[in-house]
Amino acid sequence: MTQSAMSVRFEVNGKPAEVKVEPRLTLADCLRHHLRLTGTHIGCEHGVCGACTVIVNGEAVRSCLMLAVQAEGAKVVTVEGLSRDEELSPLQASFRRHGALQCGFCTPGMITTAHALLTEEPTADADRVREVLSGNLCRCTGYVPIVEAVLDARAAYRKPGREDRT
Amino acid sequence: MKLPQFEYACPTTIAEAVALLAKSGGTAKPIAGGQSLMPILAFRLATPSLLVDLRKLPGLDKITIGKDGVRLGAKVRWRDIQDDERLRTAHPLLVAAISHVAHYQIRNRGTVGGSVAHADPAAEMPGIAVTCDAEIVVVGPSGSRTIRAAEFFVAPLTTKLATDELITEIRLPSWPAARRWGFEEFARRRGDFAMAAVAAFYDRDERGHAKDAHIGVIGAGSTPRRLTPAEAALNGRPVDAAAIAAAAGAASAAVDPPDDIHASAEYRRALVGTLVERALARAAA
Amino acid sequence: MRNSFIGSPVERIEDLRFLRGRGQYIDDVSRPGQLYAAILRSSVAHGRIKSIDAKPALAVPGVHAVLTAKDIGDPVPTINIRLQPLPQLVPFHQPVLAHDKVRYVGEPIAVVLAESPAIAEDALDAIAVDIEPLPAVADRFASSADKTLLFEGHGTNLAIKYDVTHGDIDAAFKNAPYTRREKFRVHRHAAVPMEPRGLLAEWDAAKGKLTVHGAAKVAFFNRRILAGQIGLPEEAIDLVENDVGGGFGARGEFYPEDFLIPFAARKFGRPVKWTEDRRENLLALQHARDMDCDIEIACTRDGMILGLRGTTYADVGAYIRTNGLVGPRNVAQFLAGPYRIPSIDIDAHVQLSNKTPAGTYRGPGRYESDFFRERLLDLVAQDLGLDRIEFRRRNLVTKAEMPYHLADIAPYAQDTEFDSGNYASALDRCLKEFNWTEKAKLQGRLIDGRYHGVGVACFIEGGAAGPKETAKLVIESDGMITVYTGSSAIGQGLETVCAQIAADAIEIPLTRIRGVFHGSTTLLKEGFGSYHSRAVVMGGSAILDAANNLRDEIRKVAAQRFGCAAADVTLADERIGGPGGKSAKWSDFAGVSAEGSFTNHHHTYAYGTHAVHVAVDPKIGHVQIVDYVAVEDVGRIMNPLTLKGQLIGAIVQGLGGTFLEHLVYDENGQMLTGSFADYLLPTASDFPNIRGFLMEEEPSPINPLGAKGAGEGGIIPVGGVIANAVASALAPFGVQPNDLPLSPSRLWHMVQAAQSAKPQAAE
């Protein structure tokens, strides 16, 4: 019952990666166990919880619903790629300030999703933030502080001259 | 919940993809966005021998708007529909329905072709296809054929698509600017499959009365379907409270929803009536 | 204490790693050469195992071994009850692998060990299990009927009956001017933390040492169970706590896998890793709630409660799990909540059924009892024509009555009393923040197709379970301080709060705390973990004790060095000083350490009130939360940022349980909600309007911090307050929601039933 392993090349957090994987390996498992990027978490493996969200070619995707072999040639960004050196990014700092995490398990998916959203829509309003984050389950916070944290982080993504929608 | 074993191929032409499907004798499955297929594999409800990845197939990701209507390439994603400003006038019902599909991340990968092929009875895209008399264009080893949406969906997760065929395009007939429409969905949570949803539209004759009413429902039976008795209750009449109530009553009577863990059949039957009432009230407003 | 980190909204230490993907959860840990385990679980709810044939699975390439009960030894070990064990319950302890019978879908039958998780899962399908099915006992009513028995030798599915008594119940009901008897029911749902469980076990044969990573909550207790089962001294086993993705009562209890994975590692001499997937998590992690009652209240006509009697029933599933008795006990003992009920007589039935064994979920038994009682109080107020606020106020235990003795529960000897509180003050604060007077005017009004209603419910939250906690503080070579605590981190921000307490108690800046290490058996001689909202009171008080001891130790060492009396030594942020200008750096005291402990046999009782404004669409059965206000007095607040976070989070969990979450079984004992598409957790767009307010008017007199356990209160009154508000909104129909959940379909049916009963109703 062995499967032919396939060689896959893509870019992760700005660096090239090459892995040999079975076709059945998900991108989530590939990142976690082949590339040791364990910040991407697996909470359900059936595309509901959002903990495994990563950014592929600029768009947030569920890495449990994508095969590693489908990432050939893609640019993948994980939570580990969202803060340089020892500083928290403005989004991460906002999460901390607002108490937007407790156990931290859903947090990487929240951060990657919110980062993708604010990069595309830096003036997203509370309803839009709630709509987008409704694809990411959190069992600890009740979401109220997460939404506040994302709204509060918008300024860091905004180009000068644009106002928040409220 | 690791996936079962399968081989993987990533062809660069439609002919090559179809040949791979045909060669497998029905054991291969195409994968595009994978947003419906991957969970099925995770639960091992399907164990294909081969996945044929469609991501390199050219020309299937376009939204074409012309006099004959809207053509959605099979690989058009939910977000492409949401991002396309033209569709807000070219097919506002489609845009409204698609806003209920799943979540942000899924919309970045899920495709219209995948949804139609998957044929979940509570999914929006099959519902819009049926309600709008869409045509589904498919291609197989012996060439291309067109299937009316009304005939395409056979049962839950079952369609007229043969195992060696691929969907290439969904054609929605043109949408007159003056058309009245409404879309109402109720789900347990935002982004969940619908408990039920109703898509309704009608045109108006010179007296302002409804004509050519289309009322489609999802989530209340084994396939999406049009509710002909409800349409009949509307056609030729002014769309007032009485006509709306008649259509809603006819809709409830016309559906035969199942019991499941989320709701009783009685509830769903009543819900369909309520949603028809609200969709038509919105259309008439 | 010079500092005031305690009480400040200190940003969390943990967040620095969690936010950057640097947390280390159990599945993030691996060892070279590890085998991967997968568990074969019963697909039959009730049956006799005829045969298990693992040979086809062993033929799958990459499969190393398959373990069944006969590989474990005779007798197959069972799992002890951790809380409130009784000898008569030993027959209902769960075996680590099923051998003669299976009693629920999901019960472990065999373990596959393979070279990858996927191969292990492939092999599960290849194991042939022959089970002769027996009729399933699929709900509490079937359990009580005793037609089919889970344990034939026991003669009944009633595992045990408790008796809760207080006052003179016969006198209370004799000649009572008013009585009302009602049935209420809370459905099965569960904690469902976001991180599935996992374990990684290693056996070092040379040292005779077994190390198990992935422990949580109660590592020391679990080590004791494992040592007994596996035949090793406790000292030969270490349980290591990693970052834990949520507990809420379920995570960290001793489950069958907590034996199976270490056993396999020892047997095969290779590290063994197991990561639970979500499908098995929903079947295997303990379920909760699933209780109903038939209770009767006696009152005077002016609304003084005289007595409460009746029966509570808990469906605890197929076995009595480690903490499976907590809910059934709490629901009965705390049925009176914060109210003065002079006479109480409740029989609490603990019933077995062919479902996943139940255990605690945040506010165990308390969520249920609050729903039962607060619903009943609204019905009584309506009968007696009393304002429901005034009715409650009249019966709340007053500050002057503290400490207030609670009902006793037999066969346990232990009794308990409220430590302190001003319940009316929290009620008043809640009404004020909610603006009750104005919002109450909306009751029953129809606006834009929705009926508006308001509800209120009061609660108490028990915390600070004993008997003990330990701590240790060590001065490091750079003068920083490391904190060790026997409490466990389950995502609640333990490290931050312990650091705050330590910094205040040692009187140093927070930045001088190097780190807080917790839970693992490698850190301290004994520890008691985190459950029953105990970490701050017990763990925090132990840190206070250790800090006092550390300061004494520093003084002693400095006195020797400076040649002075210990009393003349002064401790400042940067330096330790003595008379005559002598001083030394903290780093000069590297290696100085102190231990501390706190022993306590009393509970703390935080308390509060919730109020909610709902708008109900009666045609769809949807309930919108327009405004939700929660007030809780926790005695003393350690960190308002983390506490408020837990309060809001607990409320949304409660709303999930009230509206969305339901573990549904069919009549064959098959669970129908085995995915996140079917078991519906609340999402970001479901409940946006939640406000929380914290009070610290009444510190606890039973611990030096004045703190009360406070992690669970937010969930306790949610079912009751929501149901009361929905009843208020749907008063024109006469709907009385006495069964949860309030799913759209169920609520719609309640409206239909009420309409057909009252054809003249509104609309």
Dist CA C687 CA C623 (whole Å): 10
Give CA angle at C383 (C380, C384), nearest 5°.
Answer: 85
Cβ atoms of residues C376 and C338 within 8 Å: no
Chain B residues with CB inside 8 Å of C685's CB?
189-190
Interval C634-666: pLDDT, tens:
999 999 999 999 999 999 999 999 999 999 999
Q: Mean pLDDT throughout C404-433? A: 93
CB atoms B188 and C744 under 8 Å: yes
Q: Which of B148, B278, B131 shows the shortest CA–CA distance to B214?
A: B131
By DSSP bridging, strand B50-53 and strand B7-9 are parallel
Longest dimension (CA), chain B: 62
Q: Mean pLDDT throughout C387-392? A: 98
- Is residue C758 predicted with pLDDT exceeding 90? no
Chain C residues with CB inside 8 Å of B191's CB?
683
| Interface residue B232 vs chain C (CB under 8 A) | no
Q: Mean pLDDT throughout C527-539? A: 93
Q: Report CA dihedral (A11, A13, A16, A20) to the nearest 10 degrees.
A: -70
Q: Mean pLDDT throughout B120-129? A: 98
- Is residue C761 predicted with pLDDT exceeding 90? no
- Is residue C505 predicted with pLDDT exceeding 70? yes
- Is residue C759 predicted with pLDDT exceeding 80? no
Chain B residues with CB inside 8 Å of C752's CB?
266
Q: Report CA dihedral (B259, B263, B265, B271) to the nearest 10 degrees.
A: -150
- Closest residue in C to B275 (Cα) is C620
Dist CA C371 CA C723 (whole Å): 8
Dist CA C208 CA C320 (whole Å): 32
Which chains does chain A touch, 3 or more C-beta pairs < 8 A?
B, C
- Is residue B173 predicted with pLDDT exceeding 70? yes
* C-alpha distances out from residue C523 to C224, C466, C541, Å: 16, 20, 18
Question: In chain B, which among 43-102 make CB contacts under 8 A with chain C?
Answer: 43-44
Dist CA C6 CA C547 (whole Å): 14
Q: Which of C334, C359, C625 shows the shortest CA–CA distance to C458?
A: C334
CB atoms B39 and A47 under 8 Å: yes
Confidence of residue C3 (pLDDT cuts 50, 70, 90): confident
CB atoms A134 and B103 under 8 Å: yes
- Is residue C407 predicted with pLDDT exceeding 70? yes
CB within 8 Å of C68: residues ≥ 6 apart: C52, C54, C97, C109, C110
Q: What is the pLDDT of residue C760?
A: 54
Task: Describe the strand order of the beta sheet including C690-695 as a list of residue ranges.
Answer: C446-447, C450-463, C604-617, C622-633, C690-695
CA atoms within 13 A on the CB side of A128: 15
> In 10 A of CB C752, how many CB atoms?
17
- Is residue C178 predicted with pLDDT exceeding 70? yes
- Is residue B78 predicted with pLDDT exceeding 60? yes
Does the N-terminal peptide bond of residue C467 adopt cis geometry, omega within 30 degrees of 0? yes
Interval C20-65: pLDDT, tens:
999 999 999 999 999 999 999 999 999 999 999 999 999 999 999 9
Neighbour-count burial of C329, counting CB atoms closer than 10 A to its CB (0-12 exposed, 13-18 middle, 19+ buried)? buried
Interval A40-94: pLDDT, tens:
999 999 999 999 999 999 999 999 999 999 999 999 999 999 988 788 999 999 9
- Closest residue in C to B1 (Cα) is C277
Dist CA B26 CA B4 (whole Å): 17
Q: Is B63 helix (H, G, I), strand (E, B) or coil?
A: strand
Q: What percent of chain C has pLDDT over 70?
A: 99
For chain B, the straight-line distance linking the first and the last C-alpha, in angstroms and rounded, comes to 49
Which chains does chain B touch, 3 or more C-beta pairs < 8 A?
A, C
Q: What is the pLDDT of residue A1?
A: 39
Neighbour-count burial of A73, counting CB atoms closer than 10 A to its CB (0-12 exposed, 13-18 middle, 19+ buried)? exposed
Q: Which of C505, C639, C633 shows the shortest CA–CA distance to C8?
A: C639
Q: Mean pLDDT throughout B217-234? A: 97
Chain B residues with CB inside 8 Å of C621's CB?
267
Cβ atoms of residues C360 and C327 within 8 Å: yes
CB atoms C61 and A1 under 8 Å: yes
Q: Mean pLDDT throughout C411-425? A: 90
> In 10 A of CB B25, how many CB atoms?
10
Name which of A23-27, A160-164, B279-283, C738-742 the model is least confident about.
Answer: A160-164
CB atoms C279 and B43 under 8 Å: yes
Q: Which of B239, B242, B198, B194 shows the shortest CA–CA distance to B219?
A: B194
- Is residue C82 predicted with pLDDT exceeding 70? yes
- The per-residue pLDDT of chain B, averaged, comes to 97
Q: Which of C244, C200, C234 shows the shortest CA–CA distance to C525?
A: C234
Confidence of residue C120 (pLDDT cuts 50, 70, 90): very high
Confidence of residue B33 (pLDDT cuts 50, 70, 90): very high
Interval C692-744: pLDDT, tens:
999 999 999 999 999 999 999 999 999 999 999 999 999 999 999 999 999 99
Q: What is the pLDDT of residue C763?
A: 44
Dist CA C280 CA C295 (whole Å): 36
Beta-bridge partner residues of C594: C473
Which of A97, A102, A137 is closest, CB to CB, to C649?
A102
| Interface residue C359 vs chain A (CB under 8 A) | no
Which chains does chain C touch, 3 or more C-beta pairs < 8 A?
A, B
How many angstroms away from the CA of B242 is the closest CA of chain A?
Answer: 35
Which of B261, B264, B267 is closest, CB to CB, to C678?
B261
- The per-residue pLDDT of chain A, averaged, comes to 94
Which of C620, C683, C749 is closest, CB to CB, to B271?
C620
CB atoms C748 and B274 under 8 Å: no
Q: Is C632 helix (H, G, I), strand (E, B) or coil?
A: strand
Q: Which of C307, C291, C288 shows the shortest CA–CA distance to C299?
A: C307
Each as own residue / partner, the long-range contacts of residues A6-11 (CB below 8 Å, 24 or more positions apart, any chain) are A6/A69, A6/B8, A8/A68, A8/A69, A8/A71, A8/A72, A9/A72, A9/A73, A10/A71, A10/A72, A10/A73, A10/A74, A10/A75, A10/A76, A11/A74, A11/A75, A11/A76
Interval C540-588: pLDDT, tens:
999 999 999 999 999 999 999 999 999 999 999 999 999 999 999 999 9
How many angstroms away from the CA of C675 is the closest CA of chain B?
Answer: 9
- The per-residue pLDDT of chain C, averaged, comes to 96
Each as own residue / partner, the long-range contacts of residues B247-253 (CB below 8 Å, 24 or more positions apart, any chain) are B247/B213, B247/B215, B247/B276, B247/B277, B247/B280, B248/B273, B248/B274, B248/B276, B248/B277, B248/B280, B249/B273, B251/B198, B251/B215, B251/B217, B251/B227, B251/B276, B252/B276, B253/B229
Q: Mean pLDDT throughout B26-36? A: 97
How many angstroms away from the CA of C662 is the closest CA of chain A?
Answer: 15
| Interface residue C572 vs chain A (CB under 8 A) | no
Q: Which helix (H) or strand (E) holds C461?
A: strand C450-463
CB atoms A61 and B105 under 8 Å: yes
Interval C471-480: pLDDT, tens:
999 999 999 9
Q: What is the pLDDT of residue A85?
A: 76
E-strand spans in C519-657? 570-571, 575-577, 583-585, 593-599, 604-617, 622-633
Which of C645, C677, C688 is closest, CB to CB, to A99?
C645
Chain A residues with CB inside 8 Å of C195's CB?
41, 43, 103, 105
Q: What is the pLDDT of residue B60?
A: 97
Q: What is the pLDDT of residue C762?
A: 46
Residue with tokens 């970045």: B108
Q: What is the pLDDT of residue A2?
A: 46
Q: What is the pLDDT of residue C606?
A: 98
Q: What is the pLDDT of residue A164?
A: 56
